[in-house]
Amino acid sequence: AQSVTQPDIHITVSEGASLELRCNYSYGATPYLFWYVQSPGQGLQLLLKYFSGDTLVQGIKGFEAEFKRSQSSFNLRKPSVHWSDAAEYFCAVAYSYNNNDMRFGAGTRLTVKP
């Protein structure tokens, strides 16, 4: 079955430390991959997306993600976390070039310690 897994429900990092949020998908072909962020009381905002080409994708707010086909992963990274990055992060996968087919992970909540 097609699925999206975010193994970490909650992660805590210190401000200034590096961050990596994990995302794995299960699908036969190369999907379209997305990372969204949801701050408290707000809707989801797109951080970055991968459709094809360079497997290292740069996004907004200093985030990047790397598509690794061999590991079926699309992990999100940031070299130095800011307190304002505290939020919930969602990985999403689309199995066609159509939003109707998008599937979201359950999310990872990020807490940033001072």
Partner 1 sequence: ETGVTQTPRHLVMGMTNKKSLKCEQHLGHNAMYWYKQSAKKPLELMFVYNFKEQTENNSVPSRFSPECPNSSHLFLHLHTLQPEDSALYLCASSRDRTDTQYFGPGTRLTVL
Residue recorded with tokens 């996004």: 59
Site string for partner 1, 75-94 (x = CB under 8 A): ---------------x-x--
- Which pair of tokens denotes residue 67? 């598509």
Q: With beta carbons less than 8 A apart as the criterion, state whether 13 and 61 touch.
A: no
Instruction: Check binding of 41 to partner 1 (CB under 8 A).
Output: yes
Residue 14, number of CB atoms within 10 A of its CB = 9
Work out how close the CB of 17 gets to partner 1 at its nearest, in angstroms, rounded to a whole number: 26
Tell me which residues touch partner 1 (CB under 8 A): 4, 9, 41-46, 49, 90, 92, 97-100, 102-107
